């Protein structure tokens, strides 16, 4: 991205990278120099080890630095711990790269901050008007209701290791669920990391070593790929739940063998995407990451110059 000589969330190793957040489709290994929030850098170190970057530089939200002719600032994106929008200013023009973001209240990360700008590069993971996430606590109530109807079955919730897992735990705690929550081994390190950043998650126990009897009627969190596969056989007749914005569409949930879909997302839904366009009031919008066509159509009808920016290599992690 000229003229600063750096790239935001580059897919291939580069000299200078600015990384919005720690999900693996954004935070790739092997860059020489990485600029990100302290939270994101900690996540990258944990997940990538040596690959997290030869040199790293932490930047607080709101703090500005100059790289070449460009002033760079990070603003909270509300997606996961440490997630940031990248605010770039050059020759009187301000460009904001949203990265992945959400607008809902989330106790586990700093809330999204709309930054008025000239060009807004927005994600569009849920860029169709059918995606309207219901209130989070209503979804948590569904889970607790199911636990009351099937008290002898363990409930296994598929949740991405970074962000979604901690958010679901935090919502459960907010709803008053104070029993131990069991974790698949892949989820433990990030939970510990969150706790180190001051996010309280209550009592967590490893599911892998727990006695079968102990898991009856218990809540277990596991990566989405594990909930309906061999790993889940250790559980007694589990209710398979999945926490994801995709669960809004029944057929999609059914394809994944989900019995209890929970529409809990770390991305903005359609209403929030369109509301954010109004708030940042950018005359020009680039749409990436998802269903660009509908959001471009919407923005154009609102008199905004909008176009789709196709990026390859991005996956659905963290949806």
Partner 1 sequence: MRNFSSLIDGLVFMPSRNGKLRLLADFFATAPDPDRGWALAALTETLVFHEAKPAAIRQLVATRTDPELFALSYDYVGDLAETVALIWPERPERANSLPPSLTEVVEALRAAKRGQVMGLVEGWLDTLDSSGRFALLKLITGSLRVGVSARLAKTALAEWGRVDLGDLEECWHGLTPPYAELFGWLEGRSDRPAAGQGAGFRPLMLSHPLEEEDMAALSPADYSAEWKWDGIRVQLAARGGERRIYSRTGDDVSGAFPDIVDHMNFDAVLDGELLVARGEGEIAPFNDLQQRLNRKTVTAAMLKEFPAWVRLYDILFDGEEDLRNLPFTGRRARLERWYDALRPRRMDLSPLVPFDGWGALKALREGSRENSIEGLMLKRRDSAYVAGRPKGPWFKWKRGALTLDTVLMYAQRGHGKRSSYYSDFTFGVWRGEELVPVGKAYFGFTDAELVELDRWVRNRTTRRYGPVREVEPGLVLEVAFDSVHPSNRHKSGLAMRFPRVHRIRWDKPAAEADRLETLQAMVVG
Q: Would you tell me which residues interact with partner 1 (CB under 8 A)?
A: 128-132, 134, 142, 145, 149-150, 228-230, 232-233, 237, 240, 248-251, 253-255, 257-261, 291, 293-294, 297-298, 301
Q: For 66-75, which contacts have Cβ atoms below 8 Å and span 24 or more sequence positions?
A: 67/4, 67/5, 67/6, 67/16, 67/35, 68/3, 68/4, 68/5, 68/6, 69/3, 69/4, 70/3, 70/4, 70/6, 72/4, 72/6, 72/18, 72/35, 74/36, 74/37, 75/113, 75/115
How far CA 285 is from CA of 277, 280, 288, 302, in Å, comes to: 8, 10, 10, 11
Instruction: Pick between residue 162 and residue 260 the one whose CB is nearest to partner 1.
Output: 260
Instruction: Pick between residue 80 and residue 263 the one whose CB is nearest to partner 1.
Output: 263
Instruction: Pick between residue 71 and residue 274 the one whose CB is nearest to partner 1.
Output: 274
**190 with 199: CB under 8 angstroms?**
no
| Least Å from the CB of residue 108 to partner 1 | 26
Smallest CA-to-CA distance from 157 within 133, 184, 135 is with 184
Cα distance between residue 162 and residue 194, in whole Å: 9
Q: Tell me the angle at which helices 188-196 and 38-48 cross, rounded to the nearest 10 degrees.
A: 150
Instruction: Pick between residue 71 and residue 236 the one whose CB is nearest to partner 1.
Output: 236
| Least Å from the CB of residue 225 to partner 1 | 11
**153 with 215: CB under 8 angstroms?**
no
The two tokens of residue 24 are 């693996």
Cα distance between residue 274 and residue 120, in whole Å: 12
| Least Å from the CB of residue 288 to partner 1 | 17
| Least Å from the CB of residue 183 to partner 1 | 19
Instruction: Pick between residue 18 and residue 242 the one whose CB is nearest to partner 1.
Output: 242
| Least Å from the CB of residue 298 to partner 1 | 7
Smallest CA-to-CA distance from 121 within 310, 262, 248 is with 310
- Residue 28 CA, distance from chain mean position: 16
| Least Å from the CB of residue 230 to partner 1 | 6
Instruction: Pick between residue 141 and residue 203 the one whose CB is nearest to partner 1.
Output: 141
Instruction: Pick between residue 18 and residue 253 the one whose CB is nearest to partner 1.
Output: 253
Instruction: Pick between residue 63 and residue 293 the one whose CB is nearest to partner 1.
Output: 293
What does the angle CA 109 – CA 112 – CA 116 come to, to the nearest 5 degrees?
155
| Least Å from the CB of residue 95 to partner 1 | 27
| Least Å from the CB of residue 155 to partner 1 | 13
């Amino acid at each position: 991205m000229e003229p600063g000589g750096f790239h935001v969330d580059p897919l291939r190793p580069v000299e200078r990278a600015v990384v919005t957040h720690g999900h693996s489709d954004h935070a790739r290994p092997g860059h020489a120099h990485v600029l990100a929030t302290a939270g994101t850098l900690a996540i990258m170190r944990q997940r990538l080890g040596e690959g997290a970057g030869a040199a790293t530089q932490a930047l607080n939200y709101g703090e500005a630095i100059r790289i070449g002719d460009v002033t760079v600032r990070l603003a909270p994106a509300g997606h996961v711990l440490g997630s940031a929008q990248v605010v770039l200013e050059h020759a009187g023009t301000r460009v904001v790269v949203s990265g992945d973001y959400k607008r809902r209240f989330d106790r586990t990360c700093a809330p999204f901050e709309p930054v008025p700008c000239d060009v807004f590069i927005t994600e569009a993971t849920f860029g169709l008007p059918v995606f309207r996430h219901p209130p989070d606590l209503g979804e948590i109530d569904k889970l607790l209701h199911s636990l009351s109807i099937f008290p002898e079955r363990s409930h296994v919730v598929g949740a991405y290791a970074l962000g979604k897992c901690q958010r679901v735990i935090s919502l459960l705690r907010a709803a008053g669920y104070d029993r131990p929550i069991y974790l698949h081994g892949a989820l433990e390190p990030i939970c510990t990391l969150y706790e180190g950043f001051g996010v309280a998650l209550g009592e967590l126990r490893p599911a892998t070593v727990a006695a079968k009897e102990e898991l009856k009627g218990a809540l277990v969190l596991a990566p989405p790929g594990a909930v309906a596969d061999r790993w889940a056989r250790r559980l007694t007749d589990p209710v398979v739940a999945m926490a994801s914005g995709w669960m809004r569409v029944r057929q999609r949930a059914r394809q994944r063998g989900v019995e209890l879909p929970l529409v809990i997302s770390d991305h903005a839904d359609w209403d929030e995407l369109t509301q954010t366009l109004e708030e940042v009031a950018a005359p020009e919008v680039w749409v990436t990451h998802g269903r660009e066509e509908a959001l471009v159509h919407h923005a154009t009808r609102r008199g905004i110059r909008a176009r789709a920016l196709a990026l390859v290599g991005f996956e659905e992690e963290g949806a």
